[in-house]
Amino acid sequence: MPQKFRIKKDGAASNGSAAGTICYEFMGCDYGLSNDDTRALGIPHVSVTLDPAGGTPSFTVRKSALEKV
């Protein structure tokens, strides 16, 4: 079962999700998108999804802007 998170900050997600949005650990392949964002911005990113099952579509968010729920 994917880990459940809450986004803590506006502007932290690549899809524009607002603070307070519930998201889930992405269980698929993000084809390096989170790694690209981490390297380009210098801040660790992870891929998450709005799908409780961990499926597509996914988006990246700063790791520090997530809190486990």
| Per-state percent for the chain, helix, strand, coil, to nearest 5 | 15, 30, 50
pLDDT of the residue at 31:
97
Copy the structure tokens of residue 53.
Answer: 């099952």
pLDDT of the residue at 56:
97
Q: What is the distance of C-alpha 2 from the center of its chain?
A: 12
Q: Which pTM was predicted? A: 0.92
pLDDT of the residue at 44:
98
Domain count, the chain: 1
Q: What is the distance of C-alpha 39 from the center of its chain?
A: 16
Task: Determine the structural domain holding residue 64 and report its residue range.
Answer: 4-68
pLDDT digits 0-9 by tens, 6-60: 999 999 999 999 999 999 999 999 999 999 999 999 999 999 999 999 999 999 9
